[in-house]
A and B are shown apart, each in its own frame.
Chain A
Amino acid sequence: MATRTLAFHFTPVDGPRAVEGTRNPHAKATTFDPDTVEALQAAFPDAVGEVFLYANEHTVYVDRSRIVDVCRFLKEDRGFEYLADMGGIDLFVEGTRYEVFYNLVSLSRSRRLRLKIRVNEDDAVVPSITGIYRAAGWNERECWDMFGIRFDGHPDLRRMYMPEDFEYHPLRKEFPLLGVPGSLPLPPQTPEAGLTLDPFAAAHGSRPVKSFEEAESDLARQ
Chain B
Amino acid sequence: MTLAPDSPLHSEGFLTTRVDAVVNWARSNSLMPMPMGLACCAIEMMAFAAPKYDVARFGSEAMRFSPRQADLMIVAGWVSYKMAHTIRRIWDQMADPKWCIAMGACASTGGMHRCYGVVQGCDNFLPVDVYVPGCPPRPEAVIHAIMDIQEKVRNEYSVATDAHRGKGAPEPTPLRPRVLTPGGDRVISPVALYDQEAL
A-side interface residues toward B, CB under 8 Å?
161-163, 170, 175-180, 184-189, 191, 196, 199-203, 206-212, 216
Contacts and interface: CB of A to CB of B under 8 A. Distances in A.
Contacts of B88: 187-188
Contacts of B92: 191, 211
B89 to A, nearest CB: 7
Contact of B116 (A176, A189, A209): A176
Given A186-B84, A208-B123, A212-B97, A178 B116 contact: yes
Contacts of B124: 186, 196, 199-202, 206
B121 interface: yes
B138 interface: no
Nearest to A213: B127
A141 to B, nearest CB: 15
Nearest to A216: B166
B174 to A, nearest CB: 16
19 contacts: A163-B81, A163-B82, A175-B116, A176-B116, A178-B115, A180-B116, A184-B81, A185-B81, A186-B84, A186-B125, A187-B125, A196-B124, A207-B123, A208-B125, A208-B126, A210-B97, A211-B92, A211-B96, A211-B127
Contacts of A200: 120, 124
B39 to A, nearest CB: 16
A186 B81 contact: yes
Contacts of B96: 211-212
B120 A199 contact: yes
A202 B123 contact: yes
Contact of B119 (A186, A189, A212): A186
Contacts of A199: 119-120, 124
Interface residues of B, number: 27
B140 interface: no
B127 A208 contact: yes
B183 interface: no
Contacts of B120: 178, 199-200, 203
Contacts of A163: 81-82
10 nearest A-B pairs in the assembled complex, by CB-CB distance: A179-B116, A187-B88, A208-B127, A184-B81, A202-B123, A187-B125, A191-B92, A201-B124, A202-B124, A187-B85
Contacts of A180: 116
B125 A184 contact: no
A176 B117 CA distance: 11
Interface in B78-99: 81-82, 84-85, 87-89, 92, 96-98
Interface string B105-128: 000000000111101110111110
A203 B110 CA distance: 12
B165 interface: yes
Interface string B148-171: 000000000100001001100000
Contacts of B97: 210-212
A181 to B, nearest CB: 10
A210 B166 CA distance: 15
Contact of B127 (A170, A185, A196, A210): A210
A182 to B, nearest CB: 12
B123 A184 contact: no
A212 B165 contact: yes
Given A170-B116, A199-B119, A208-B123, A187 B162 contact: no
A187 B114 CA distance: 19
Contacts of A188: 88, 125
Contacts of B119: 186, 199
Nearest to A196: B125
B114 A207 contact: no
A209 B117 contact: no
B81 A202 contact: no
B158 to A, nearest CB: 10
